């Protein structure tokens, strides 16, 4: 049987506008095996995982588990776990890190504030500090959700780690199995599909310098899907790769057509027309899908530069 990623690639399905949405990512180290819904089906206390899911709902925070690349035999409960929080909104981007022996402390975080970009509870509860290391590359490897993520993601994570790339972690879920291997680069929150080692290395190098790699980019998790596609289209047209130069400031309309306003830090702006169409022919959206689907795709049909007065109105 064809894998979902193989079919998606053969159909040349576009990856733009397909990133998972989150203004803030909260990542907790959990070694060992992961189930399909890892927060409640791993060696993390399922009650804690369920409580974190519920607390994050509607806050803009996406909670995920991470582990270091390599074999995942059951090591037992780790004495110390790594925790990261990353806020991805342009102009307010930050990445903080902490360690904890008690993952239950995460329930003391103010997730609504984290989602809005306020990291004070991360510092107060976990003694979190600004991350001083390299940007993070999170490679989805959860084969219990989709076998493509394991078959394609795990070798990529291992290759990156073996070549000395810092900041590489395996992560439980980034969405879009059919674009495996999928990778999220933090702190800026740009996701990549069909990622190869050289793409990830270039994306990390760019993030270190505050730049975005647009090759195989799915979008910035900060924005909803029409905004992701619109921002990437403006980047391609304007040749703008500074990570925080562009913001999605307005999205008008509803499926299947939106008018998205993208603003530049220098005062320029663009109106981008994005339409939603069904991906044809029908294809497996994941390896475990019982029926074929027609996944929604974001198509940019027009990009129009705005006068400054139009942008301000």
pLDDT digits (tens, 9 = 90+) for 168-178: 999 998 987 78
Helix (H, G, I), strand (E, B) or coil at 278: strand
Task: Say how many residues make up the chain.
Answer: 313
Task: Give percent of the chain above pLDDT 90.
Answer: 76
Q: What percentage of the chain exceeds 70 in pLDDT?
A: 94
Q: What is the dihedral of CA 250, 255, 276, 15, to 10 degrees?
A: 60
List strand residue ranges (DSSP E) for the chain, in order: 24-29, 61-67, 81-87, 94-100, 129-130, 136-140, 168-171, 183-186, 190-192, 217-220, 246-254, 257-264, 269-278, 296-306
Summarize the confidence of residues 303-307 as an average pLDDT: 94
- Kindly indicate the confidence band of residue 309, based on its pLDDT and cuts at 50, 70 and 90: low
Q: What is the pLDDT of residue 270?
A: 98
Instruction: Collect all residues with Cβ–Cβ distance below 8 Å to 278 and sequence separation of at least 6.
Output: 294, 295, 296, 297
The mean pLDDT value for 263-292 works out to 88
Band of pLDDT at residue 284, cut at 50, 70 and 90: confident
Q: In terms of C-beta distances under 8 Å and separation of at least 24 residues, what long-range contacts does 288-291 make, across chains too?
A: 288/146, 288/147, 289/4
User: Is 70 exceeded by the pLDDT of residue 11?
Assistant: yes
Confidence of residue 1 (pLDDT cuts 50, 70, 90): very low
Residue 103's closest CA among 183, 31, 34, 36?
31
Please give the pLDDT value at position 312: 57
Is the model's pLDDT at 191 over the cut of 90? yes
Q: How confident is the model at residue 289 (pLDDT cuts 50, 70, 90)?
A: confident
Of 23, 104, 31, 105, nearest in space to 62 by CA: 23
Confidence band of 160 (pLDDT split at 50, 70, 90):
very high
Where does the pLDDT of residue 27 fall: very low under 50, low under 70, confident under 90, or very high at 90 and above?
Answer: very high
pTM higher than the cut 0.85: yes
8, 281 contact by CB (below 8 A): no
User: Residue 92: which of 185, 224, 208, 188 has the closest Cα?
Assistant: 188
Q: Answer for the pair 283, 297: CB distance below 8 angstroms, yes or no.
A: no
Determine the average pLDDT of the residues in 43-68. Answer: 97
> Which pLDDT value is given to residue 175?
82
- Confidence bin at 280 (pLDDT 50/70/90): confident
Cβ partners under 8 Å of residue 110, min gap 6: 118, 120, 121
Once rounded to an integer, what is the mean pLDDT over residues 71-88? 82
Tokens of 141: 């490897």
Kindly tell me if the per-residue pLDDT of 313 is higher than 60: no
Least confident of 4-18, 164-178, 238-252: 4-18
For the ranges 37-41, 141-145, 148-152, 213-217, the lowest mean pLDDT is seen at 141-145
Q: Contact 171/138 with Cβ under 8 angstroms?
A: yes
- Three-state DSSP at 204 gives helix
């Amino acid at each position: 049987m064809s894998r979902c990623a193989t079919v998606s690639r053969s159909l040349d399905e576009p990856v733009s506008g397909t990133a998972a949405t989150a203004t803030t990512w909260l990542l907790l180290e959990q070694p060992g095996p992961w189930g399909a819904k890892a927060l409640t089906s791993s060696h993390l206390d399922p009650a804690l995982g369920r409580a974190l899911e519920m607390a994050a709902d509607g806050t803009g925070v996406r909670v995920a588990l991470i582990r270091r690349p390599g074999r995942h035999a059951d090591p037992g409960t780790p004495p110390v776990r790594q925790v990261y929080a990353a806020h991805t909104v342009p102009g307010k981007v930050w990445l903080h890190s902490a360690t904890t022996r008690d993952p239950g402390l995460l329930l003391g975080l103010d997730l609504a504030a984290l989602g809005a970009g306020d990291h004070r509870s991360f510092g107060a509860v976990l003694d979190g500090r600004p991350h001083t290391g390299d940007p993070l590359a999170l490679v989805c490897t959860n084969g219990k959700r989709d076998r493509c993520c394991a078959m394609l993601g795990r070798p990529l994570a291992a290759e990156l780690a073996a070549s000395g790339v810092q900041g590489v972690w395996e992560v439980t879920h980034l969405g879009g199995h059919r674009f495996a291997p999928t990778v999220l680069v933090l702190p800026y929150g740009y996701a990549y599909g069909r990622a190869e080692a050289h793409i990830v290395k270039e994306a990390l190098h760019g993030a270190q310098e505050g730049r975005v790699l647009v090759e195989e980019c799915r979008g910035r998790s900060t924005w909803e899907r029409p905004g992701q596609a619109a921002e990437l289209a403006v980047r391609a047209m304007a040749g703008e790769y500074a990570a925080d130069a562009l913001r999605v400031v307005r999205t008008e309309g509803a499926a299947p057509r939106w008018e998205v306003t993208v603003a530049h830090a220098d005062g320029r702006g663009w109106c981008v027309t994005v339409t939603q169409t069904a991906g044809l022919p029908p294809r497996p959206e994941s390896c475990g899908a019982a029926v074929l689907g027609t996944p929604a795709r974001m198509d940019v049909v027009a990009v129009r530069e705005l006068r400054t007065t139009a942008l301000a109105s």
